[in-house]
Structure 1
Amino acid sequence: MKSRLALSLSTVLAGLAIVPAVMLAGPDRAAAATPARPAPAHPAPAHPALAHPAPAHPPHRVSHPPRGARATPAAPAPQAESIAVFGHGSTRQMTSVTRTMMRQSVPGTSPLKVLSQLPGVFYQSADPFGAYEYSSQLFMRGFNQSQLGFTLDDIPLGDQQFNNYNGLSVTRAIISDNVSGVDVSQGAGAIDVASTSNLGGAIQIHSIDPSHTRGGTVGQTFGSNAATRTFVRLDSGDLNPSGTRFFVAYARTDMDLWKGHGYDYSDQVNAKLVQPLPRDSSLKLFFDWSSIQQFDYQDMTPNYLHTVGPNLANYYPDYTAAYQAALGHYPQAFLATNDPFDAAYYAGTANRVDYLGGLTLDENLTSDLDWKTTLYGHGDSGYSTWSTPYMPSPNGAPLSQRIQTPGIARGGFESAATWTLARHKLNAGVWYEYGRFTEGRYFTQAPLLGQGTLGNPTGGFPADQIFANAWQEVFTSNSFVFHLQDTFTVTRQLTVNAGFKSMAVWAGNRVPVQDAVLNGGLVAQGDLTASNAFLPQVSANWHFLPHHELFFDVSHNMRAFPQDGFGTNVSATPWTASQAAFQKTRNTLRPETDWVYEGGYRYTSPFLSALASLYRVNFSNRLQLITSQAGINPITAVQNVGGVTTNGAEASMTIRPLPGLSLYNSFSYAHSTYDQDVVTASGIEPTRSKLVPNYPSYMYKGNITYQWRKFDVHVDGNYISSRQLTYTNDLHVPGYFLANFGMRYNFGDAGVLRGVTASFNIYNLANKTYIATTNELGNNFVNTGYNYFLMGAPRQFFGTISANF
C-alpha cells in the first residue's frame, strides 16, 4: 500500500477550525435507502466523481423574536435592501440575512452559502448550490461548523459534520425558498441556543409563516450541467376567523456533476401549520421530509492537480476501467501521478432519507410573562457506498464495495420562560435531548469482469452481496442544558446581559458486531461524560449617541465529545480509536473549551450601516488524533494537545447613496495559531505559533445592488487569501477572487399569475480555477504528497421563472 495509508489518521483534525468534522473518506457518507433516480439517457464516459481513502484501515491520506441579549436587528432604510442587516441594539455581534437578500442567489442555494457574504464567515463547496454535503464547509472566526451552533425554529440541528450523529444538514432540514431569514452571531451564541457544540458563534434559521391569503408560488430553474429545479408552495390562507392557516411545499433538484459522471438528486417536502391563540400567542407545527442521492466528486492533491488537472474524476460508469485500475492497469494520464492506484475509484455515493418535525407553543401568559416550549423529533436512515480497490472480493474480483449504514433517532424538548420585571428581563429554561446513533460497515462483492458491473450505486442496498461485516455500533446519548440570564436596561442608552448555562452530555456506545482481524484490533467501546455547571456570559450595549453604539461580549463555552464510528470521520472523536487506545485515554480526556472576548462599534442610519469589531479566542483542551504506531493499521488515540489563540478584526459597511442603490463591503483578519508543539510517537511536531490550517487570514467581500422599478441587478465578489494545508505550514493553497452576477425582472401579472419574474445568475463569472474545500480527509503535519482538497465549480449559468397565484 501507499505510505499515505500509514499517515492519515495521524494527520487528522485539530480542534479549532482545522478540519470541519464533516468529512470522511468517501464511503463513510451516511445516507438513506431511496429509490434510485433513473440512469441518465446520455452515455457516460470513463471517469466520474470521487476519491476517498482506504476503508478498514485508517484513511491515508425567527419567526419569534430572539430572547435576552439577542435584540432583533433593525432593518436599514426602506430603500434597496442591503446584503447584511447589522444587529442594532444587540449586546454581541449579530448579523442578519433576510429572505429578500437570499433571493440574489439561485433558488435552491444552501442558506449557509449565502452567509459567505458576511464578515468572518468562510463557506466552501465543490458545487455551485452548496448542496453537495461532503464538500460543504463552513468556518466562522476560525471555528469549523462542528464547533458552531445551528437551529431551525429553535429545533437543534446538531454540529453539522458530514456523517452527522446529532442533527441534520441545513439543506435537508428546510427548503431554501421557505427560509424567512438567518441570524448569525459571529462571536458567541446566546446561552439559550440549543447546542452542545458552539465553541464559536451560532446560526439561527427561521422558516416563513403561511400566508393569510390563499394562493401559492411556483418556480422552475434550468442551468448548467443539465440542472433542473422545481419548486411549488401552496398556502391555505386563513381558514377561520382565528387565522388558522398552513402551507405545503415541494422541491425537486436534479443536476449532473460538473466533471465526470453521476448526479445530485433530491426530493423535499415542507409543511407548516400556524394556529393563533389569544393574547398574541401561537401554536406552530413544522414538518420536513427529504431524500437525497449524491455522487461524489474526486478528492484532489497538489500532485493530481498538476499532473492530471482539475477535471480529474472517477471511473463511473466505466466498470472495466475501474476493474483494470485495481489490477494496476491505469489510464495513460494517471501514469504521471505519484499514486495512480489512488487517483480515482469507480464511484462513491451518499443516499439519505430524513424526517424532522417540531411543535412550538408560544404562550403569552400575561403582558409581562411569556412561556415558550418546543417539542421535536428527527429520524434519519440511509447508506453510503465506496468502490474500494483496497479490499478484493471473495470471487477474485480485485475490488469490492464498502457500504456504511448510519441512522439517527433523536427527540427532545426546550422550555423557557421570560419575565419582564421593571427594567429586568429574566429568562430561564431547560433543554433535554435523547439521541440514538447507529452505524455499520459492510463489504459487498463486485462482479468479475465480463459477468456484470457494479451499476448505479444509488440503486439500493445490495444486502445479498455482503461478504464481510467489519463492525456495527450503537451510540446513545443524553443531553441536558439549563440556562438563566437577565437583560437589564440600566438606562435608555445602556443594556447589560448576564447569565450562565449548565451543560451535561453523557454518551456511550456498544459494539454488537466486529471483526478484529479486518479492523486490525478491537473497536473502542465505552462511555464518556462532558459536563460543566457554570458556563458564564456577560455582554453589554451602550447607545452613547444617536446612530452610534458600542458593544462587548465575554463568554465561556464547552463542546461535548463528538461521536462517530470506528475509523470514519476526521473529527477527533474518542470512539474512532481502538479499544486499547480508548481505555488508555478515557480518564484523562477533557472536553474542548474556550473563552471568547469581543467588542465593537455600530453606526446605523438610512444612509449608512457600519460595523467594526475586535475579538480574541483562547481555545483549550484541543482534541487531536495521534498515531502511536506506523503501518497500514496504525494505533491511534485522541489526546488533549494544547490550545489555540486567535486574534481578529472585522469591518463592514453598507452605503445607500441613491434610491435603489446599495454598496456593501466587508474586511476580516484572523491570526489563529497553535500554542504548543505536538508530541507523537515519531517525535515532536513543531506546530507552536503555526497558523491553523484551512481558514484564510484575510477575506474581503463586496456587493453592488441596484434596483430600478421592476428590475434589479447585482454583482458580488469575494477575495480569499491563501490557506495552510498542514499543521506545520509547509504547504498551502493559493488565494483567489471569485465574482458572481445576477439580475431579475418582474413582469407583473399575467392572468391568474401574479408577479411573474425571470432571473438569471452566473456563478464564477470569470471562470476561475480555484481550490474550494480543503481538509475533507484531514490535515497532515507536513507535506506528505497526500494533502487533500476539492476543486470549486467552473463558470455556471442558471435561469429561473417564478410566479405567485
Structure 2
Amino acid sequence: MAGGFTYFGGAALAFPALLLATPAAAEADDANPRDIQVVGHPDPEGLLPDQTAPKAISAISADFIVKQAPTLNAFQLVNLLPGANVSSSDPYGLSTSSSLTLRGLGQDEIGVLMEGAPQNDIGYYYAYPSQFADAENVRQISLAQGAVDIDAPLVGTAGGLLSLSLDDPKAQRGGLINLSLGSYNERRVFARFDSGEIGNSGLKAFVSYSNNRADNWRGAGYDTRQHVDAKLLGEWGDGNRASIALSFNEAKTSTYPSPTLAEWQEYGRGFNYDKRYTDGDTNYWRLYRSPFRNFYVAAPLHLKLSDALTFDSTGYLQFGYGNSPYGTQLTETGNFLGTEELTQPIALPGAVDGVATVLGNYTGNQFRGGNVSKLTLETGAHRLTVGLWFDYGTDRVSQSYTSIDADGRPTDPWGRQANAIRTADGRLLAYENIRTETVTKGFFLADSITITPRLGVEIGFKGVNVLRNGDNYLPGPEQKVRLNSSAALPRAAVHYRLDDRQQIFANVTTNFRSPNEFTLYDTYYGDELVSQGTNALKNEYSVSEELGYRYIGPSLSFSLTAFHYHFRNRQVATVIDNGGALVNSTINAGSQTSYGLDGEIDYRPAKGVSVYVSGEYLHARLDDDLPVGGDYLPTKGKRAVSSPTFQFGMGSTYDDGRLFGSTALKYVGRQYSTFMNDESIKGYATLDLSVGVHLAGLIDAQRMDLRLNAINVTNPHVLSGVQTVSSNAQDTFGRNGTLISGFAPAYYIGSGRAFVVTLSRAF
C-alpha cells in the first residue's frame, strides 16, 4: 500500500452507481401561480433521522439496516457515522476481536444501551457487539458522540453513547424468515414470529431465533452463534406503555491473533494460529476458540400519572459466562500459587518429561442487575426531572488451566473450575482468582426551561458513587480490596430554533470513570509480582463542550458540530502478554486535550434515494509527560493513540419499490499506537455494496426480498486498528536520562472480502 488512499480510487468509482435520480422539484399550483409548494422527501431513507436534542447525535434506522448484510453487528452498522472508527477482525462481525472508538476515545469509554438497559461489562466497561440483538429486530441505532443523557445508567462515558432500540411487536400476526449463504461457508437462518394482539388484552409479542456459522476468513477454525430475541409490549390509556425485552446469545468464536508491526510486515495475513496440532504446540487454533453465553433482560415502563406528571423506570438483569482461552505449557514442579511455592508435583495429563501443553483459561462469570427511575413534571416554562439509579454486580474472574487430549482438543473449552487442573492438595491451580462486587448509586436533577418559543435552556446535576469490594483468593499479602469513588457531574445545554428548519445548540458536560477492577489486584507470574494492585489510581475526569448547527430540510439535512475535551488522569486500558500469561494493565496518560469538527449531510433528491456524507477532523494531544518507572517519557505535545486526524464516510441508498441497494465507503486516517508516536499504521478505506430486488407481487402479496451484500469489496490488505497500545515502541531516553525499553503494540488485521446472499420472506 503506497499511501492512505491506495484503495480509495476504486471505491469512489463504484460510489456513483446508485446516485442517479431526478432532483427535487418546486411545483406551482395552476389555480394560484403564486402558491409555491416545495416537493421534498422528509423521510431520510434510514440515514440521518431528524434530531432536536441540544447535542451531537447521529443515527441509522431500519430503512438503512435492512439493506446491509444481516450478519453485521451494531459497531459495523454505525461505521459511516461521524467520529466512529470501527476495527473488525472478521467480515461477519462474529468475533469478539473488534473495537469502536469515537473522537479518539476507546470502546471502554463508550456507553451502550439496549432498550434503556446497560450492556457494558461491569468491571472493564467494554461492550461486545456480537452479543447484541439481531439486526432484523433493531428499529434504530443512535450514536451520541459526546454528551450522554443525564438519566443513562452508565459511568465512564466520555466517549459517547451507542443506543439500540428494538422493533415493537407487529399489530398483526405474522412472521419473517431470512436465509443467508455466503463466502467462507457462511450459513445463517433467522426466523421471527409476531403474535399480533393476544386476545383482547392489548398485549402483543414477538420472538425470534437465529443460527449462524462461518469458517474463519483467515487461518483455521470457524465461528458459531445462536441467538434469541423476544419482546412483550402492552400499551393502554393516554400514552402508558410497559414492555419486557429478552436477549439470549450463545457463541463459540475465534480470537484472531493480533500481530506487531514487525510480524505484520513479515507474515501479512498469514499471521494465524496453526491448522494442525503437534506435540507441544501452544499456537493451535482450538486453544484460542472462545465460548460465551449471555442473557439480558430489560423492562422499560412509562406511565402518565397526570397531564403534567410522568413516571419512567427501567429495570434490567444480565447473566454471562465465558472463556477467552490461550495455549500455554505447565511443568509438574516449580509452580507457585500466588506467593506460595508448591513443593509437591502437580499431576499433568499428557506430560512429557514433566512438561504438558494445556489450555490457559481466562474465565468470567458475571451478574448485573439494576434500576433507573425518574419523575418528570411539566409546570409553566419548566420541565423538571428527578431520578435515582441503583446497580449491583458481581464479577468472578479466574485464570486456570485445563488439560488437552493427544489431538490438541481441550477436555473442557469452557474452562469450568470443576474440570480444571488442581494442586496436589486439591486447590485450583490459578494464575488469577478474584471476585469483585460493584455497587453503583446515582441521583440526578434536571430542568429544561422554555425561555421563549424558540429558546430552551437545560441545566442538570448528577451525583454518582461507585463502590468496589473484592477478594483475592490467591495466597499472598493481599486478600481484600476496596475502592470507593464518587463524582459530582454538572451539565448545561442551550438550544435555539432559528426557524422551522434551522437549529443551533451548545452544551457543557462532565464525565468521570472509576478505575477498572483489575487495577485493585496483585498479579503474579511464577514467583514474580508482575503488577501491584492499588486503590490510589485517580479517577478519570473530563469536561467536554459542543457547539453545533443543524438544518432539517425537505430534501437536504445536515449538521456541523465543533467539540472540545479536557481530561485529567486519562485512563487507557491495554493487555500485556507476560511470557504467555495475559496481564491487564491501565496506563494513566495524565492530562489530554482534544478538539475538532464533526459533520454529516443527507441529500434526498427523489423518493427512495438518499446520499449521505460524513466527516471528522480531530486534534488530540497529550498535555503531560508519561511517568514510566522512575522517569518520564517526553510525550507532552504528542498525538493521542487511536485518534486519526481525518476520517470520512460516504453512503447511499436506493429503493424504487422493485430494485434497491446501498453503498458504504469509509476512510480512516493514520493512527498512532504509542504515546511517543514512534509507531503508527497507515490510513485505509473500505467499501460495502448491496443490491436487491423486492419480489412481492410476483408470487403473492407478502413481502419477499432477495439481496446480495458485498462486504469490504476492495479487499485492502491493511491493519485496521490498534489492539494494544504501548508507551514507546523504540528504546527511548527519559527526561532524567534513563533508557526506557520499547514494547511493541499489537494491531487488528482488517477483514477480508465476503459476499452474502439473503432471501427474506414474510408470512
Using the alignment, how far apart are the partners of 2:714 and 2:603 within structure 1?
26
Among 781, 788, 801, which residue is 2:728 paired with? 781
The answer on 1:502 being equivalent to 2:457 is no
Using the alignment, how far apart are the partners of 1:705 and 1:768 within structure 2?
24
Among 103, 106, 109, which residue is 1:141 paired with? 103
Query: Who is 2:390 aligned against?
Result: 432
Query: Who is 2:140 aligned against?
Result: 181
Query: Who is 1:298 aligned against?
Result: 257
Pick closer, same or farther for the CA change 1:196–1:175 going to 2, 3 Å: same
The answer on 1:154 being equivalent to 2:94 is no
| SS of corresponding position for 2:136 | helix
Residues 554, 598 of structure 1: 8 Å contact kept: yes
Among 646, 651, 669, which residue is 1:721 paired with? 669
Query: Who is 1:575 aligned against?
Result: 521
Query: Who is 1:746 aligned against?
Result: 694
Query: Who is 1:84 aligned against?
Result: 48
Query: Who is 1:365 aligned against?
Result: 305
Query: Who is 2:89 aligned against?
Result: 126
Query: Who is 2:400 aligned against?
Result: 442
Using the alignment, how far apart are the partners of 1:176 and 1:503 within structure 2?
33
Pick closer, same or farther for the CA change 1:471–1:660 going to 2, 3 Å: closer
- Displacement of 1:216 in angstroms is 0.5
Residues 581, 636 of structure 1: 8 Å contact kept: no
The answer on 1:454 being equivalent to 2:454 is no
Query: Who is 1:527 aligned against?
Result: 482
Greater relative contact order (Cα < 8 A, sep 6+): 1
Gaps of at least 5 residues in structure 1 are 1-75, 327-342, 517-521, 565-572
Q: What does 1:221-232 correspond to in 2, within 5 Å?
A: 221-232=180-191
Instruction: Name the aligned partner's letter for residue 536 of structure 1.
Output: P
Using the alignment, how far apart are the partners of 1:511 and 1:791 within structure 2?
36
Using the alignment, how far apart are the partners of 2:619 and 2:288 within structure 1?
36
Pick closer, same or farther for the CA change 1:635–1:742 going to 2, 3 Å: closer
| SS of corresponding position for 2:270 | coil
Instruction: Name the aligned partner's letter for residue 370 of structure 2.
Output: G
1:436-458 per-position Cα deviation (integer Å, ceiling 9, x unaligned)? 110111123345xxx44335874
Using the alignment, how far apart are the partners of 1:473 and 1:749 within structure 2?
60
Using the alignment, how far apart are the partners of 1:688 and 1:536 within structure 2?
29
Using the alignment, how far apart are the partners of 1:591 and 1:558 within structure 2?
7
Instruction: Name the aligned partner's letter for residue 476 of structure 1.
Output: E
Residues 57, 143 of structure 2: 8 Å contact kept: yes
Residues 590, 623 of structure 2: 8 Å contact kept: yes
Pick closer, same or farther for the CA change 1:488–1:306 going to 2, 3 Å: same
Residues 574, 582 of structure 1: 8 Å contact kept: no
Using the alignment, how far apart are the partners of 1:590 and 1:181 within structure 2?
37
Among 691, 694, 708, which residue is 2:642 paired with? 694
1:485-540 per-position Cα deviation (integer Å, ceiling 9, x unaligned)? 1111111111111111010010121022x266xxxxx66741111102x3111011
Residues 242, 276 of structure 1: 8 Å contact kept: no
How many matched pairs? 685
Residues 673, 725 of structure 2: 8 Å contact kept: no
Using the alignment, how far apart are the partners of 2:410 and 2:582 within structure 1?
33
Using the alignment, how far apart are the partners of 1:371 and 1:561 within structure 2?
33
Q: What does 1:288-687 correspond to in 2, within 5 Å?
A: 288-316=247-275, 318-320=276-278, 323=279, 347-389=287-329, 395-396=351-352, 397=355, 399-447=357-405, 451-454=406-409, 458=413, 461=416, 463-464=418-419, 466-467=421-422, 468-512=429-473, 514=474, 525-532=480-487, 534-564=488-518, 573-575=519-521, 577=523, 585-586=534-535, 588-623=536-571, 640-681=588-629, 683-687=631-635
1:371-412 per-position Cα deviation (integer Å, ceiling 9, x unaligned)? 012222111123332112577857234532101221011111
Using the alignment, how far apart are the partners of 2:80 and 2:584 within structure 1?
39
- Displacement of 1:608 in angstroms is 1.0
1:75-132 per-position Cα deviation (integer Å, ceiling 9, x unaligned)? x934561522252x21111212111111232013112211111111111110112231
1:231-288 per-position Cα deviation (integer Å, ceiling 9, x unaligned)? 1110000123342111111011111100111111111111111122323212211111
Query: Who is 1:103 aligned against?
Result: 66
Residues 111, 160 of structure 2: 8 Å contact kept: yes
Using the alignment, how far apart are the partners of 1:782 and 1:452 within structure 2?
38
Residues 611, 652 of structure 1: 8 Å contact kept: yes
Residues 95, 130 of structure 2: 8 Å contact kept: no
Pick closer, same or farther for the CA change 1:544–1:525 going to 2, 3 Å: same
The answer on 1:274 being equivalent to 2:237 is no
Instruction: Name the aligned partner's letter for residue 505 of structure 1.
Output: V
Pick closer, same or farther for the CA change 1:390–1:360 going to 2, 3 Å: same
Residues 521, 534 of structure 2: 8 Å contact kept: no
Pick closer, same or farther for the CA change 1:364–1:387 going to 2, 3 Å: same
Q: Which moved more, 1:795-804 or 1:676-685?
A: 676-685
Pick closer, same or farther for the CA change 1:676–1:304 going to 2, 3 Å: same
Using the alignment, how far apart are the partners of 1:530 and 1:324 within structure 2?
46
Pick closer, same or farther for the CA change 1:764–1:278 going to 2, 3 Å: same
| SS of corresponding position for 1:216 | strand
1:56-89 per-position Cα deviation (integer Å, ceiling 9, x unaligned)? xxxxxxxxxxxxxxxxxxxx934561522252x2
Using the alignment, how far apart are the partners of 1:442 and 1:581 within structure 2?
17
Residues 359, 403 of structure 2: 8 Å contact kept: yes
Instruction: Name the aligned partner's letter for residue 477 of structure 1.
Output: T
Query: Who is 1:800 aligned against?
Result: 758
Residues 146, 160 of structure 2: 8 Å contact kept: yes
Pick closer, same or farther for the CA change 1:754–1:634 going to 2, 3 Å: closer
Pick closer, same or farther for the CA change 1:619–1:462 going to 2, 3 Å: closer
Using the alignment, how far apart are the partners of 2:585 and 2:277 within structure 1?
37
Pick closer, same or farther for the CA change 1:577–1:619 going to 2, 3 Å: farther
Using the alignment, how far apart are the partners of 2:628 and 2:266 within structure 1?
33
The answer on 1:258 being equivalent to 2:217 is yes
State the superposition RMSD in angstroms: 2.9
- Displacement of 1:796 in angstroms is 0.8
Pick closer, same or farther for the CA change 1:613–1:685 going to 2, 3 Å: same
Among 272, 278, 283, which residue is 2:242 paired with? 283
Residues 469, 515 of structure 1: 8 Å contact kept: no
- Displacement of 1:710 in angstroms is 1.7
- Displacement of 1:707 in angstroms is 2.4
Instruction: Name the aligned partner's letter for residue 83 of structure 1.
Output: L
**Which one has the largest radius of gyration?**
2
Query: Who is 1:732 aligned against?
Result: 680
Pick closer, same or farther for the CA change 1:674–1:524 going to 2, 3 Å: farther
Residues 589, 639 of structure 1: 8 Å contact kept: no
- Displacement of 1:622 in angstroms is 2.1
Q: Which moved more, 1:373-382 or 1:480-489?
A: 373-382
Pick closer, same or farther for the CA change 1:258–1:368 going to 2, 3 Å: same
Query: Who is 2:32 aligned against?
Result: none
Instruction: Name the aligned partner's letter for residue 55 of structure 2.
Output: R
Residues 717, 739 of structure 1: 8 Å contact kept: yes
Structure number with higher strand proportion: 2
Q: Which moved more, 1:785-794 or 1:452-461?
A: 452-461
Using the alignment, how far apart are the partners of 2:309 and 2:553 within structure 1?
33
Query: Who is 1:336 aligned against?
Result: none
1:705-730 per-position Cα deviation (integer Å, ceiling 9, x unaligned)? 22223211222211111111211011
